Structure 1
Amino acid sequence: MPGISIRPSRHCHRLAAGLALATSWTFVHISVIHADSVAAQQLPVTVPSIQHWTPTGSDEPEFILGSEPRIIADAGSTEIAEHLAEDLIRAGKPISLTTGSDRPGDIVLRTGDIDDPVSESYRIAVADRLTITADSPTGIVHGTQTALQWLRQTSALPRGVAEDRPDYSERGLMLDTGREFFPVDWVKARIRDAAYLRMNLVQLHLSDSQGFRLASVMHPEITSPEHYSADDIREIVSYAQSFGIDIVPEIDMPSHMNAILAQHQDLVLRPARTTPQDAVLDSAIGGGVGGKIDLTNPAARQLISDILHEFVPLFPGHYWHLGCDEYISDYTRYPQLGDYATRTFGPGAAPGDIIIDFANWAADLVESLGKTPRVWNDGFDHPGVLTPKPELVVQYWSAGAGGLPWLPGGRTPADFTRDGHPILNAAFTPTYFTTGGPAAALNAPPELLWAWDPGLFVNGQRLPDSDRPLLRGSMLFLWCDDPAALAPEQIVAPLRARLPVMAQQLWAGTGGIGYPDFLGRASAVGWS
């Protein structure tokens, strides 16, 4: 992930001119109906806002969290209920867990069919009891976070029914712990932040130029001094699962592999000619000579196979991110790749077919281990005769083929969805926040993230209507180009300034809500 201006990449530029767009886009109204009665009967705000609220009459008794409140949970929701109780106690509202029959003033968690095809949907019926119903544990988690936000503001709620579901199926946060190591408790705190905002993915970028952050038994030589043990990963994953968060691990290959290749110099891909930029890229961000593995060497595939077989089973989630970004922008400097491609794939092959072949091979491997593979988009900008497997989920960050990410030149979002790829909008501007280096001066402010919407890609294009079901959503991406620029505790504030905006964008959109109003809502739910 380059962080200097010699060779522009997804992490070293921001589209500053995009600020001018902040006031030019229109928004779609959210279908939220609020009770219009006295202050005690107003429905408290949430972040993100709920999709639909139907009041059932202000003349009927409201829900009141009494002096001895209880949470009643079915067998599948016990851990979720424990988290809710802990959070309410921290909010100054002691509550107990119990089993058996519910009574007025109780909070009830109930797994059941709510007749909604979206697995994360939930319903909250507010009467003399507050009953949260969903047909999945994640839906129950989301319902408890809404209830928690309400009850942090008031102990009395108007009668009615909240029916809620996300607009997008993927809503997340990525942490670049490959460059800057983050302690386990810090990672868990960010997971808790994401869960409070009803997000469902946290991507861990676990390897890059500055470090390989997993303790390898098969290849201990690649493990950095600061790393996560297998028990650390189990703790992080278990904590995330208890809040409905799926951990997406990423070991970036076949570029950004400096930490892995430091002890495997025989596998480094070396150009026929070097440039002055190579040394700078090596030392700064790992994008030059030393960070790329030689895919023409059979031993390279063996090393990668060892790593994937060791670590994919450690993560029980749905996905595995293979990377596949920023391998080669100028193939003329690597004539051996062109020769290998024509020998291996035929006379019509191009050097770029090598990374497509790698991605398909690695995807087959992780699929055999029960995971859905994910990739960055830019590795597939130089195809010849091969095509990427349609099962690859594409995180689309850059439209430029080896150039500025928001300019044309590479494959468009529609090029991928036309071939059946699910896609996530990782638009370089404004979803990225970089901690240091030249890119830090170009970080998009939260106001621009508010003016954006998840259907607008970095090149200004949108998917055709027929392909929009393939758009999964987006994330807020933290990149640590300069790992010494900000300590972990200094990164929290800029992340927390942006995370609720992304959550609102992906759950219900920003229509009908002004940004100052939104900041007031965030403050009301205890977000600061």
Structure 2
Amino acid sequence: MVPPLQNWSGGSGQFMLTRRSRIVVDGAPGSRLVTDARTFADDLAALGVRRLPVVAGSTARKGDIEVTARDNVGEGFGIDVTRDSVRLSGDGPAGAFYAEQSVEQMLKTSDDHALLPVGATRDTPAQRTRGLMIDTARTYWSVESIKQTIRQLAWTKFNTLHWHLTDSEFFRLDLPGYEGLAAAQSYTPADLRAVQDYAARFHVTVLPEFDIPAHATAMSKYRPSLRWDCASMNAIIDTARVDPGFTVDITKPQNVAWLDGLAEKIVDLFDSPVIHLGGDETPRAATQDKCPELAAYAKAQGYSRTQDVFLAYENHLNALLARHGKKMQIWGWWPQAGGAGSVTVDKDIRIQAWLGDEQTFIDQGYDVVVSNEFSRLYVVPKAMPGTANGQYIPDDDALYRTYAVSTSDRVQGLEMAQWGDRQYTAPEAYSLTYLRRPLQILASTAWGSPRRAGYLDYEAMADTVGTAPGVAEPTDPDARPVSATA
């Protein structure tokens, strides 16, 4: 199973599905439990199991699979298998759904897709957020590929798809009223609705990212007035590379107002209670200090440092999202940019830590999602498979055997980040090839599964479990059969 159960108390014998077996749901006909049970039945049919009827509010009998939920929330679940019946009990509908995914994997890997071993488990995830970020700003993914990725995430008990939609190269949102801003291949409001509805069916939250005030070249090309006048702020971060418009000039009220309007337009298109607004890779302190108008603005506002201008802007965006009933998430960056002076970033902003500094933010009282690039939670395939890719291709063995997650209550979860740098024309299958193993391993780590004796044992098991119903098994077009002894 992927991720493996945290525990399993085995019994004697097996349960067998019969022609009389049903899925019996303890819920009203229109409830989420019943809707999920129908998906469960569809999945089993796709795996080769006879389609089981879904019955709501009936009494379970011999040969049935019974589905219940204790409450409306919670991802933990229990599975109890006897020779006569199967009982799936979730803490909430999501927990019941994960119990169903577990049973699907058991049946998929059984010889005739009809047998389950007698036994029981009580399982609950170690991490609240178990996610993947996909960079469709650099590399456009079809809506169908995004849906298949969501299905595979749910199959391995991930609950978040972080959708990176805008960056310096391309703006991938085709929004009414902003004609000409979107790239040729972009997502319409109808596309966003279709992806979110599909994700909700599988208990996956689609968390959008609109990256500001840096990574904004695509926007400043569309609207040149967003750019800075001073030369230093046209350098990317702190390098000699000049890129006018990479960072928006947020000292100009008209620029802030324009970004506010765009942000509100995007917020209204998403159901997620959390919205990601970037915040990373603004120029560092030494670069900022060389900009006369930035220094003058900071002084006029009473700030002690130019960096405070950007930190105050994050608080401005946080207030904007709060007015829409949303929580804000940003990339951790200001310690690298030079720290803070007279402005403190609001403590209710969730930080996505990516530079190995999650403890820095935890110590300051922030909730944190960990995407530590140095701990191999980044996937950035910049060259063809088998060639040098630097540090950004995860060491799957180390990630599986030795990666330790902070036990702080401030840690909200783990997220693998897939970046599309230099992949502007690559098909989405290219990135998915690189993601396959890291996601299998992160599934186990984020769920809190016990480790097997070796990474290769886990890899072999993951291959046996394979992909979700309706998602094609991975293939290598260059693969050839080989007979060998390891």
Structure 2 match to 1:446: 396
Mapping for residues 280-295 of structure 1, pairs under 5 Å: 288-295=243-250
Cα distance in 1, alignment partners of residues 53 and 233 from structure 2: 66
- Deviation for aligned residue 1:444: 2.6
Structure 2 match to 1:109: 67
Structure 1 match to 2:451: 511
Contact 2:133 2:164 in 1 (8 A): yes
Contact 1:454 1:474 in 2 (8 A): no
Contact 2:234 2:246 in 1 (8 A): no
- Deviation for aligned residue 1:441: 3.7
Matched AA of 2:45: I
Structure 1 match to 2:419: 479
Cα distance in 1, alignment partners of residues 251 and 355 from structure 2: 26
Cα separation, partners in 2 of 1:216 and 1:274, compared to 1, 3 Å: closer
Structure 1 match to 2:87: 131
In the TM superposition, what whole-angstrom CA distance separates every residue of 1:321-343 from its partner, at most 9, and x where no partner exists?
A: 01000011222332322221121
User: Is 1:433 aligned to residue 379 of structure 2?
Assistant: yes
- Deviation for aligned residue 1:135: 2.9
Structure 2 match to 1:421: 366
Contact 2:226 2:248 in 1 (8 A): yes
Cα distance in 2, alignment partners of residues 245 and 452 from structure 1: 28
Name the SS for the 2:301 alignment partner: helix
Cα distance in 2, alignment partners of residues 251 and 224 from structure 1: 15
Cα separation, partners in 2 of 1:439 and 1:370, compared to 1, 3 Å: farther
Matched AA of 2:398: L
Structure 1 match to 2:14: 62
Name the SS for the 1:108 alignment partner: strand
Structure 1 match to 2:278: 323
Cα separation, partners in 2 of 1:143 and 1:363, compared to 1, 3 Å: same
Structure 2 match to 1:37: none
- Deviation for aligned residue 1:419: 2.8
Structure 1 match to 2:479: none
Q: Sequence identity of aligned pairs in percent? A: 26
- Deviation for aligned residue 1:70: 2.4
Cα separation, partners in 2 of 1:353 and 1:439, compared to 1, 3 Å: farther
Structure 2 match to 1:459: none
Structure 2 match to 1:221: 180
Moved more, 178-187 or 81-90: 81-90
Cα distance in 1, alignment partners of residues 151 and 264 from structure 2: 29
Matched AA of 1:388: V
- Deviation for aligned residue 1:281: 8.6
Cα distance in 2, alignment partners of residues 308 and 485 from structure 1: 27
Contact 1:272 1:335 in 2 (8 A): no
Structure 2 match to 1:71: 23
Mapping for residues 345-364 of structure 1, pairs under 5 Å: 345-346=302-303, 349-364=304-319
- Deviation for aligned residue 1:520: 1.8
Cα separation, partners in 2 of 1:212 and 1:277, compared to 1, 3 Å: closer
Question: Among residues 337, 347, 351, which one is paired with 1:394 in the alignment?
Answer: 351
Matched AA of 1:433: V
User: Is 1:231 aligned to residue 190 of structure 2?
Assistant: yes
Cα distance in 2, alignment partners of residues 113 and 161 from structure 1: 21
Name the SS for the 2:53 alignment partner: strand
User: Is 1:166 aligned to residue 125 of structure 2?
Assistant: yes
In the TM superposition, what whole-angstrom CA distance separates every residue of 1:220-277 from its partner, at most 9, and x where no partner exists?
A: 2322221111111111011111111111100000001111111211111243358898
Cα distance in 1, alignment partners of residues 37 and 415 from structure 2: 27
Structure 1 match to 2:261: 306
- Deviation for aligned residue 1:92: 1.0
Question: Among residues 32, 43, 66, which one is paired with 1:87 in the alignment?
Answer: 43
Question: Among residues 126, 130, 151, which one is paired with 2:107 in the alignment?
Answer: 151
In the TM superposition, what whole-angstrom CA distance separates every residue of 1:265-300 from its partner, at most 9, and x where no partner exists?
A: 11112433588989x997xxxx83221100101111
User: Is 1:47 aligned to residue 12 of structure 2?
Assistant: no
Name the SS for the 1:174 alignment partner: strand
Matched AA of 1:482: R
Cα separation, partners in 2 of 1:305 and 1:281, compared to 1, 3 Å: farther
- Deviation for aligned residue 1:170: 0.9
Name the SS for the 2:74 alignment partner: coil
Cα distance in 1, alignment partners of residues 246 and 403 from structure 2: 34
Structure 2 match to 1:470: 410
- Deviation for aligned residue 1:421: 0.7
Contact 1:281 1:288 in 2 (8 A): no
Structure 2 match to 1:33: none
Name the SS for the 1:47 alignment partner: coil
Matched AA of 1:85: A
- Deviation for aligned residue 1:525: 1.2
Name the SS for the 1:271 alignment partner: coil
Cα distance in 2, alignment partners of residues 289 and 376 from structure 1: 22
Mapping for residues 11-50 of structure 1, pairs under 5 Å: 46-50=1-5
Cα separation, partners in 2 of 1:387 and 1:512, compared to 1, 3 Å: same
Cα distance in 1, alignment partners of residues 465 and 108 from structure 2: 7
Matched AA of 1:264: R
Matched AA of 1:473: G
State the TM-score, normalized to the length of structure 2: 0.86
Cα distance in 1, alignment partners of residues 9 and 115 from structure 2: 17
In the TM superposition, what whole-angstrom CA distance separates every residue of 1:284-321 from its partner, at most 9, and x where no partner exists?
A: xxx83221100101111111111121111211112100
Structure 1 match to 2:480: none
Name the SS for the 2:120 alignment partner: strand
Unaligned runs of 5+ in 2: 468-473, 475-486
Structure 1 match to 2:483: none
Question: Among residues 304, 320, 332, which one is paired with 2:289 in the alignment?
Answer: 332
Cα distance in 2, alignment partners of residues 212 and 317 from structure 1: 20
Cα distance in 2, alignment partners of residues 76 and 321 from structure 1: 28
Cα separation, partners in 2 of 1:239 and 1:288, compared to 1, 3 Å: same
Unaligned runs of 5+ in 1: 1-45, 400-411, 456-462
Cα distance in 2, alignment partners of residues 481 and 122 from structure 1: 39
Contact 2:216 2:248 in 1 (8 A): yes
Contact 2:74 2:93 in 1 (8 A): no
| Structure ranking higher on relative contact order (CA contacts 8 Å, 6+ apart) | 1
Structure 2 match to 1:191: 150
Question: Among residues 210, 230, 238, which one is paired with 1:251 in the alignment?
Answer: 210
Contact 1:106 1:130 in 2 (8 A): yes
Moved more, 192-201 or 259-268: 259-268
Moved more, 136-145 or 268-277: 268-277
State the TM-score, normalized to the length of structure 1: 0.80
Cα distance in 2, alignment partners of residues 113 and 297 from structure 1: 49
Cα distance in 2, alignment partners of residues 78 and 470 from structure 1: 35
Cα distance in 2, alignment partners of residues 277 and 293 from structure 1: 12
Name the SS for the 1:473 alignment partner: strand
- Deviation for aligned residue 1:159: 2.3
- Deviation for aligned residue 1:113: 5.0
Cα distance in 2, alignment partners of residues 264 and 447 from structure 1: 46
Structure 2 match to 1:22: none
- Deviation for aligned residue 1:69: 3.4
Structure 2 match to 1:263: 222
Contact 1:434 1:481 in 2 (8 A): yes
Cα separation, partners in 2 of 1:243 and 1:281, compared to 1, 3 Å: farther
